Each structure stands twice: as C-alpha cells, then as structure tokens.
Amino acid sequence: MESLLQTRACFVFFSLVLTLYLFIFFLLLHLRRKKVLCNCEICYAYLSSSWSKDFNNLCDWYTHLLQKSPSQTIRIHVLDNTITANPENVQHILKSRFENYPKGKPFSMIVGDLLGKGIFNVDGELWHFQRKVASSELASFSIRTYAFEIVTNEIKSRLLPFLSSIAVKDSSNVVDLQEVFRRFSFDNICKFSFGLDPCYLESSLPISVFANSFDLASKLSAERAMVALPLVWKIKRLLNVGTEKKLKQAIKTLNILAMEVIMRKRKLGFSTQKDLLSRFMTCINDDNHLRDIVISFILAGRDTMASALTTFFLLVAHHPQVMLKIRDESEKFIPPNQDLASYNQIREMHYLHAAVYESMRLYPPVQFDSKFALNDDVLADGMFVKKGTRVTYHPYAMGRMEKIWGQNCMEFRPERWLNCGTFCPQCPYKYPVFQAGSRVCLGKELALVEMKMVALSVLRKFDFELVSPGAAPQFDPGLTAMLRGGLQVGFKNR
C-alpha cells in the first residue's frame, strides 16, 4: 500500500514537472514567434524603459524615432506594431485600403470590457449602423442648436461663475484647470447625450462615482495595450487579480450606473426628447447595446474635450501674443456689453479657429490610433505589413515633423493656418486629429464650436498664469492625453 502511494506521488510529481516544462517550452516558442524576445535597440529600450532617461513621455520617444526614420515609419517588433507619421501611409490606411485596416479583434479585446460594442470598438455592419444613426442625428440643425444651447448655458451658469469664485481682485488663486474642464465637459456631454445633469462642476467639487470609475477603467484599459505580452493581462483577468480586478470592479460600477440612466430614460419617456440617447433608443431595444453607446458618448465628449482645452490654455499661457490677438479679434465682432458670443459670431473669428487647430496640431487629444491588418499589405512608403499585425498612425508625432510642417514645426503659430486672415484647412491625412476618410469624427464641428466658445469666454473675462511655467508636459497613460498632475493655473479677473 505504501509502495502504491509512493508510486502515485511520483507520478503526480512527474506530471507536474512535465506540464511546467511544456508550458515554459511553448511559452518560449510563442515569445520567439511574436518577437517578444527581440533584442534590437528599439525593442530593448521599450522593454527596459530606458527611453525614459531622455524623454518624459513615450509619445516623445516615438516622435524622436519617427523623426530619425527616412520614411517616417518604424517597427516595434515586441508589440508587432508598425508606427507611422507619414501622411501618405495615413491616407493608405484610412482611405485607399480602408477595408484592410479595421479596428480588429486584438484592439476590440483590449478595450472590449469597457467599450463593448460601441462605435469606437466595432467594425462591419454594427459600425456602419451606429455611424449611420449618429451621422444622421449630428448633422441635423436641431441637434446642433440643442448642443450650442447646452454649451452656452453651461458656460454662463457654471464655468464662468466657478472661475469667478476662484479669481479674486488683486490676488491670484490657483485651480487645476484640467480638472475644471473635465468636470465641465462631463456635465456638458451628459446633458447633450442623455438629457441628465450630474452637477459635477459645482463650487464644492463633488465626487462622482461614475466619473471616477470611468477614469480608472480608461487608464487600466489603455495599459493593456502597452504590455508586450497580452497573455499577462489575460491571465490576470482570468484569475481576477491586480489591475484586472480593479478594472472589473470599475466596469461593474459603470454598468450599474449606465443601466440606471437607460432605465430612467425609459421611465420618463424618450420619444419626444432631444438628447442623443433618446434618439438611439427609438431604433435600439437591447439595453446592453445602449450601455455600450452610453460609454462611447462619454469617451467621445468628455476627456477629448478636456484634453484639448487644457493644452490650448497651456500653449496660450506661454504665448500671450496669441491671447491678445484672440481678444482683439473678438472685439471686432462682439459688443462690450455682450456676455457670450453667438454661433454666427464664433464662425467669423478665423484667428481663434486657427489657434484651436494649431493647439491640437501640437497636442492632439488622441495621440495615436491603431488598426490591425486583415491581410498582408505594403504601405505607401514600401513598408511591408504582415497579416494580423498592428498598424498605428501617430498624430502627436506628425505635428512635430519638419517634412510636414517645416522647420518651425515645434512653434505654436496660428498664422500657419491663415491666408490673408482667412482660415485655410490642411489635408486631413497630414492632420488626422479628427481621423480622416470613412472614420472621420462625426462630432468634429460640435467639438470645435464648444472648444472655441469655452476658450473665448474664459479669455475675455480672465487673466491667468501657470504656477509652474517651466515644467515640461507629462502625460498619464490613458485613452486620451491627460496631463499628469493637471494644469495648475492662477486666475485674476480682468
């Protein structure tokens, strides 16, 4: 009996050792096939994070590599990722060979827990359907009027009063302007998208469980994409440990609150409401699908707007001559006794429009965008792309390319967009801040109007200065570019 037990024990031990050996063997084969063990200079710098000795941000290191590349294209082997800042390649990906570069299953898996089957995470018929509905609604005069009314009311009733409470005559109080804009844009997008007011931008700066859970889920989802071996986060998700456990809890909170929004809309009625969710609810009955649409709306309208406004004021603070020109231009169209600009007045301000475009050239809210190749392909610059691998175009790096914007590409110069005082748009494939081609941002015009309204309203009423003007921008990991530590600004009434 004892001999039998010893034999079984040996067999179990041998089986465990063999299983472990086979696991390690096949893992090494997988790593070799995926080139995760690549020891080239770029891959070593990525895996060891040695790039951080010379650069504050990963996007700055990528920019440096792309600037050195003759074709403005590089390959990160450990990520199976081809990264480009070449406008011809961008046109190839977003237009010429659009069908070969969908979001793809790898991307959908990375952000799928958060975005589900929302428009930013799907391809094919589901994407076409959501885009068709959203395009029809966002193009209507009534929805644009509705959006403008909401923005105007939010600025007048919340943003300006809040900043006025910060700015005390003859003194300077400090506020995190990025946090202010995140709260402002959260209130605004919730009103516009759902017809509900979370009252997030109040003098008491209340805590929002929904907003905080969304921030955490966005951050942790983005970190998945930075892992050289996806198997790591997949195992953590399977075991429900570490960051994956936190992500699961954050998404659970989002799901509960999103469903509350949907149920409230059903209870109050939606057929006569103006908000976007109500319009989608007339043709979609699946609450899980509606939940994904809710999350997508917030991603589209909250953090991107807050990011764009924050870096706009960062740049204007370093270039007071731009602020003066915007104020001078506004005086030509807006009477001194008028509080806020009208829609038609905003449209006449070409320098303001140019300043907004120039700001996003240097600091796009979404620094890069990735697709996955359905089939083998060759980019416009001759770079071979293997089926199933990731292809990324990099608007942040593109805004810093001499080949695209000239020797003064690092300068903040709104004038580069003007010809005799009139705004002149550039090719969307050299400025893919709003994407381009079939996936061009549907909310582009609404976003530009909102950004210009906020920027002009604040600049006309306040003087401001940065608390740490010499600090180089550092970005937190996330789906959108948010400044680490925010933007600390001192305000004064003019």
Give the model confidence (pLDDT) of 202-215 as tens digits: 877 788 888 889 88
Give the pLDDT score at 27: 47
Q: Does the domain made of 38-493 have the CATH classification 3.40.50.12280? A: no
- Least confident residue range of 146-155, 232-241, 315-324: 232-241
d(CA 26, CA 45): 26
Name the pTM for this structure: 0.88
Residue 149 φ/ψ, nearest 5 degrees: -65, -40
Give the β-pairing of 488-493 and 462-466.
Answer: antiparallel
Contact 452, 151 (CB under 8 A): no
Give the pLDDT score at 26: 47
Give the pLDDT score at 494: 84
Confidence band for 179, pLDDT divided at 50, 70 and 90 = very high
d(CA 284, CA 286): 6
Give the pLDDT score at 58: 95
d(CA 416, CA 404): 12
Give the pLDDT score at 22: 47
Contact 289, 117 (CB under 8 A): yes
DSSP reduced 3-state for 339? coil
pLDDT tens string 110-165: 888 998 888 888 888 888 888 888 888 788 888 889 999 999 999 999 999 999 98
Give, rounded to a whole angstrom, the gap between the first and last alpha carbons of the chain.
Answer: 93
Which run of H or of E encompasses 372? strand 369-372
CA 201-339-329 angle, to 5 degrees, is 110
d(CA 16, CA 35): 28
d(CA 221, CA 104): 16
Residue type, 281: M
Kindly report the average pLDDT of the chain as a whole number. Answer: 88
Domain ranges (residues) in the chain = 38-493
d(CA 283, CA 198): 26
- As a residue count, the chain comes to 494
Which run of H or of E encompasses 104? helix 104-115
Confidence band for 1, pLDDT divided at 50, 70 and 90 = low
pLDDT tens string 320-358: 999 999 999 999 999 989 999 999 999 999 999 999 999
Contact 187, 213 (CB under 8 A): no
Confidence band for 260, pLDDT divided at 50, 70 and 90 = confident
d(CA 416, CA 279): 40
Percent of the chain with pLDDT over 90: 57
Alpha-carbon Rg for the chain, nearest whole angstrom, is 25
Give the pLDDT score at 142: 85
d(CA 72, CA 69): 5
**3-class SS string, 378-426:** ECCCCCEECCCCEEEECHHHHCCCHHHHCCCCCCCCHHHHEECCEECCC
Confidence band for 41, pLDDT divided at 50, 70 and 90 = very high
d(CA 29, CA 110): 23
Give the pLDDT score at 170: 53
pLDDT at 171 over 60: no
- Least confident residue range of 188-202, 219-233, 430-444: 219-233
Mean pLDDT of all residues in 168-193: 85
Cβ count near 475 (within 10 Å)? 20
Give the pLDDT score at 10: 57
Mean pLDDT of all residues in 433-445: 92
For 224-247, b/e burial (b = at least 16 CB within 10 A) is bbeebeeeebeebbeeeeebbeeb
Cβ count near 194 (within 10 Å)? 23
Give the β-pairing of 390-393 and 81-84.
Answer: parallel
Give the pLDDT score at 28: 47
Q: Provide the 8-state DSSP code for 227.
A: -
Mean pLDDT of all residues in 213-228: 86
Tokens coding 374: 């359905």
d(CA 19, CA 123): 39
Cα 22 to its chain centre, rounded Å, is 41
Mean pLDDT of all residues in 262-283: 81
pLDDT at 25 over 70: no
**269 Rama class: left (phi>0) / alpha (psi -120 to 50) / beta:** left
H-assigned helices in 299-381: 304-318, 320-333, 343-348, 350-362
pLDDT tens string 60-111: 999 999 999 999 999 999 989 999 999 999 999 999 999 999 988 888 888 8
Q: Provide the 8-state DSSP code for 51.
A: G
pLDDT at 33 over 70: no
Among 490, 470, 474, smallest CA distance to 482 is for 474
